[in-house]
Amino acid sequence: KDLIEMQRTKKSDPNDPFASEPGRHPALAPSSSKPFNAEPPAELLVDNYITPNELFFVRNHLPVPQVDMKNYVLTVGGEGLKKHSFTLDELKEKFKHRKMVATIQCAGNRRSNMMEVKKIKGLSWGIAAISNAEWTGVFLSDILAHLGLADPEKRGELKHVQFEGLDLDPEKAPYGGSIPIEKALDPSGDVLLAWDMNGEPLSRDHGFPLRVIAPGIIGARQVKWLSKVWVSPDESPSHWQQNDYKGFAPQVDWDTVDFKKSPAIQEYPVQSAICEPKDGAVWDNEEEVTVRGYAYSGGGREIIRVDVSADGGKTWHPTELVAKPNQGYNRTWAWTLWEADVPLPKDSKGKEVELCAKAVDSAYNTQPESFKPYWNLRGVVANAWHRVHIKVEDDEDN
Amino acid sequence: KDLIEMQRTKKSDPNDPFASEPGRHPALAPSSSKPFNAEPPAELLVDNYITPNELFFVRNHLPVPQVDMKNYVLTVGGEGLKKHSFTLDELKEKFKHRKMVATIQCAGNRRSNMMEVKKIKGLSWGIAAISNAEWTGVFLSDILAHLGLADPEKRGELKHVQFEGLDLDPEKAPYGGSIPIEKALDPSGDVLLAWDMNGEPLSRDHGFPLRVIAPGIIGARQVKWLSKVWVSPDESPSHWQQNDYKGFAPQVDWDTVDFKKSPAIQEYPVQSAICEPKDGAVWDNEEEVTVRGYAYSGGGREIIRVDVSADGGKTWHPTELVAKPNQGYNRTWAWTLWEADVPLPKDSKGKEVELCAKAVDSAYNTQPESFKPYWNLRGVVANAWHRVHIKVEDDEDN
Ligand SMILES: [Mo]
Ligand SMILES: [Mo]
């Protein structure tokens, strides 16, 4: 099923499933328009610890559904369990409200950087398919406890929590994803069903009226327009869980790939990127360059250090972590913003300089130096050192 | 305090604190004798999924204490908590027994590989400061619940669980380490106080009568000859928690290091090594080479893939994960053994070939390509690709 095909549907077509898409902020740069996928300019991203709602990157796999709240219910159940239906008001009344700051990153973030090694089929994301917000909702663990699942000894063969959205593919099958039941049941896992983003109800692009926030896990599992939560011995049967969003070794190509052989990505590895200056910028100070960016790791692992180089990785300089969360051991769900004034190599005037950034997380995980040994056919978890080339202005340029 | 100094004490000295060390298996290759530190031959390591007790690597920071069981008690308490003392028999009677297979790796494993970039002060560990065993003991979380600490809301300012051993430095201060309270309180964290290793009481070298098994965390926190468990707002004040076992950026040297600026290592990042063939081996098949090794990651993250190269990392081949645990999501505490028959590059006969291995864990974390950008002055978490050089035999060599 070629989802890209759908983008080619004409706007004037009365049967266009994308006819009722919401309006978007003009600063969002689309990597595809149908379905809508877009990221903010990197320099705006790094200006705000909490990403303003209208600049939060958008990753839609299908047309945005129109939800009529008069009919909206969330169905919760599972194999061998009673089925419950909740209106949004019932969820809000029955369970304790929780607030949490969490970063969401698309597993395809920085695919365009990985593509420089070799072509990849997929949206050409830049470095800004990542954003940070404060979410309000209820703990999925509280809802599962309500179903009688609190005690790990009682859950038997149930191993995954599947989610379905109200967004439908051309055959009317919903978008879906799942997470391990351990993550869902653990109150320290902090999985939310959220209705509010930065103090406002979710917008249509971000999953109105309810979405999953599974912090520390890739965006693809944080299902929007949530209609169903289903506890199961199996992972979600959806295309995106089974045959997409998996990593492979660099020698695996579309002729040899077997999607069953690799696990569905859940936690993200450590990541960082330089948001300023931009690639190709001209810099007018020959002594030092001010570099700013973000860093983030999956699984609640904290960023403990970001190093920056102005000579392509030969020598390194410390950065200041200027905005960072204090959320606790393996519960650090929000990103870290960093900056540094990095001395330029001697005699840089008139020359090109390669800036690099690399982050370290609390498990001392690191980013790979280059993409080639980690290239994968889906272009996911692209987390090699981010490299930006700037030109140091020569006096004669003035 | 120069611990290395102690090694220089003469064996004949009647005041030698090392006069009553236990006997050791002759296959263990010491990296220091006083205190005793030794690793098994890598090819024996990879022969056994469960490391035989007598081959398990030994990492002692101080002389091995002689414990008189008539007087042995474990003291458990903390700031604002009642103090309890347990004999070993009381611990065994009061709490449920648990069995678990877990790998322990010294944070200094593979330091000798990192030293090839630049000198490092510290024991020159090869690739075998890592071993795997089945441990029997009681959950630390059960003991802490007995102290009234089960409810995370009640623990207030208590943030760390400190451990002290019966091994003493020349000033009679004990070895010590601490782990985050979240790890200690979480039943899924699987922290044991263990008295049994592979069905036998702990040997003196491995902590008789009781040691901490904090799976997924570096060896240095898994305190042996355990005498005290203390819950505190602070980390262990010991030298090894405060001023050792921390990572730094490559530009930080002994003149500029500030140990307060880096967090104590807890979880280990993803690691792998080639145990066979050994560096410098002569190989008598010009078609392919059989490569065997281990892979392991901290924090309970499973090994999902190991790639091997026979051309220094230009092309990669899959390996078979021949022995691997099935312990569950983020509770995979035991290592994975792997092997592969890797095709040799054309015309390798008579030439040197560089083998490389790199592993990927369930959070898609990877090993760095080279040590230089990750060199650190203590030589810890040395997890760059393992590179082994072999010579492919020429017919004329025969
Ligand atoms: Mo995504
Ligand atoms: Mo260690």
| A16-27 tens-digit pLDDT | 999 999 999 999
Going by C-alpha positions, the residue among B141, B156, B146 that lies closest to residue B187 is B141
Cα end-to-end span (Å), chain A: 54
Predicted confidence at residue A331, as pLDDT, reads: 97
Distance from Cα B355 to the centre of ligand 2, integer Å? 27
Tell me the backbone φ, ψ of residue A146, rounded to 5 degrees: -60, -30
The yes-or-no verdict on residue A4 having pLDDT over 90 is no
Mean per-residue pLDDT, B142-149: 92
CB B368 to CB A370 under 8 A?
no
The yes-or-no verdict on residue B350 having pLDDT over 80 is yes
Contact between A165 and A195 under an 8 Å Cβ cutoff? The reply is: no
A119: tokens are 């072509």
Contact between A193 and A138 under an 8 Å Cβ cutoff? The reply is: yes
What is the ipTM, given to two decimal places?
A: 0.94
Quote the DSSP letter at residue B121: S
Mean per-residue pLDDT, A160-169: 97
Partner-chain residue, chosen from B318, B358, B381, that has the shortest CB–CB distance to A364: B381
Q: Is the pLDDT higher at A3 or at B126?
A: B126
**How confident is residue B151, by pLDDT bands cut at 50, 70 and 90?**
confident
Predicted confidence at residue A10, as pLDDT, reads: 45
Contact between A386 and A257 under an 8 Å Cβ cutoff? The reply is: no
Contact between B289 and B274 under an 8 Å Cβ cutoff? The reply is: no
Q: How far is B62 from chain A (nearest CA, A)?
A: 27
Q: How far apart are CA A324 and CA A337, in angstroms?
A: 6
Q: Is B368 on the interface with A (CB under 8 A)?
A: yes
Cα separations in angstroms, B247 against A362, B98, B107: 10, 33, 10
pLDDT tens, residue by residue, A95-129: 999 999 999 999 999 999 999 999 998 899 999 99
Predicted confidence at residue A12, as pLDDT, reads: 57
Length of chain A: 398
B186: tokens are 């979480």
Mean per-residue pLDDT, B313-337: 97
pLDDT tens, residue by residue, B26-49: 999 898 999 999 999 999 999 999
Q: Is B249 on the interface with A (CB under 8 A)?
A: yes
Predicted confidence at residue B80, as pLDDT, reads: 84
Strand partners, B344: none
By CB atoms closer than 10 A (0-12, 13-18, 19+), residue B29 is middle
Predicted confidence at residue B398, as pLDDT, reads: 52
- As a whole-number percent, the residues of chain A with pLDDT over 70 amount to 96
Q: Is A267 on the interface with B (CB under 8 A)?
A: yes
Distance from Cα A154 to the centre of ligand 1, integer Å? 33
**How confident is residue B397, by pLDDT bands cut at 50, 70 and 90?**
low
Question: How many other β-carbons are positioned within 10 Å of the β-carbon of residue A161?
Answer: 30
Chain A residues closer than 8 Å to B377 by CB: none
Partner-chain residue, chosen from A269, A316, A330, that has the shortest CB–CB distance to B364: A269
The yes-or-no verdict on residue B1 having pLDDT over 50 is no
pLDDT tens, residue by residue, B249-266: 999 999 999 999 999 999
Q: Is B381 on the interface with A (CB under 8 A)?
A: yes
The yes-or-no verdict on residue A8 having pLDDT over 50 is no
Residues lying with their CB under 5 A of ligand 1, a single-atom ion: A 59, 106-107, 219-220
Rama region for A96: left / alpha / beta (φ>0; ψ in -120 to 50; rest): beta
Distance from Cα A37 to the centre of ligand 1, integer Å? 10
DSSP per position, B20-47: TPPP--TT-EEEETTTTEEE--HHHHTT
Q: How far is B281 from chain A (nearest CA, A)?
A: 26
Going by C-alpha positions, the residue among B82, B89, B36 that lies closest to residue B59 is B36
Distance from Cα A318 to the centre of ligand 2, integer Å? 27
Quote the DSSP letter at residue B236: -
The yes-or-no verdict on residue A277 having pLDDT over 80 is yes
Predicted confidence at residue A15, as pLDDT, reads: 83
Contact between B79 and B66 under an 8 Å Cβ cutoff? The reply is: no
Residues lying with their CB under 5 A of ligand 2, a single-atom ion: B 59, 106-107, 219-220
Q: How far apart are CA B340 and CA B53, in angstroms?
A: 27
Q: How far apart are CA A358 and CA B151, in angstroms?
A: 38
The yes-or-no verdict on residue B7 having pLDDT over 50 is no
What lies within 8 Å, CB to CB, of A186 at 6+ separation is A141, B188
Mean per-residue pLDDT, A339-361: 97
Predicted confidence at residue B90, as pLDDT, reads: 98
Q: Is A193 on the interface with B (CB under 8 A)?
A: no
Mean per-residue pLDDT, A372-389: 98
Question: How many other β-carbons are positioned within 10 Å of the β-carbon of residue A363?
Answer: 29
Partner-chain residue, chosen from A187, A268, A307, that has the shortest CB–CB distance to B249: A307
By CB atoms closer than 10 A (0-12, 13-18, 19+), residue A302 is buried
The yes-or-no verdict on residue A3 having pLDDT over 70 is no
Partner-chain residue, chosen from B298, B365, B369, that has the shortest CB–CB distance to A369: B369
**How confident is residue A6, by pLDDT bands cut at 50, 70 and 90?**
very low
Amino acid at B270: V
Mean per-residue pLDDT, A328-348: 97
Residue of B nearest to A217 (CA): B363
Q: How far apart are CA B208 and CA A269, in angstroms?
A: 38
Interface test with B, best of A365, A372, A376 (most B CBs within 10 A): A365
Q: Which B-chain residues 78-97 have CB contacts (< 8 A) with chain A?
A: none
The yes-or-no verdict on residue A191 having pLDDT over 50 is yes
What lies within 8 Å, CB to CB, of B90 at 6+ separation is none
Mean per-residue pLDDT, B157-165: 96
Distance from Cα B220 to the centre of ligand 2, integer Å? 4
What lies within 8 Å, CB to CB, of B303 at 6+ separation is B270, B272, B295, B296, B297, B321, B324, B332, B335, B336, B338, B359, B360, B361, B362
The yes-or-no verdict on residue A9 having pLDDT over 60 is no
pLDDT tens, residue by residue, A223-272: 999 999 999 999 999 999 999 999 999 999 999 999 999 999 999 999 99
Partner-chain residue, chosen from A182, A251, A369, that has the shortest CB–CB distance to B316: A251
When the pLDDT of each residue in chain A is averaged and rounded to a whole number, the result is 94
Predicted confidence at residue B12, as pLDDT, reads: 57
Amino acid at B150: A
Contact between A134 and A339 under an 8 Å Cβ cutoff? The reply is: no
Strand partners, B265: none
Contact between B40 and B57 under an 8 Å Cβ cutoff? The reply is: yes
Chain A residues closer than 8 Å to B259 by CB: none
Tell me the backbone φ, ψ of residue B267, rounded to 5 degrees: -65, 145
Mean per-residue pLDDT, B320-336: 97
pLDDT tens, residue by residue, B173-192: 999 999 999 999 999 999 99
What lies within 8 Å, CB to CB, of A224 at 6+ separation is A60, A165, A167, A175, A202, A206, A207, A211, A212
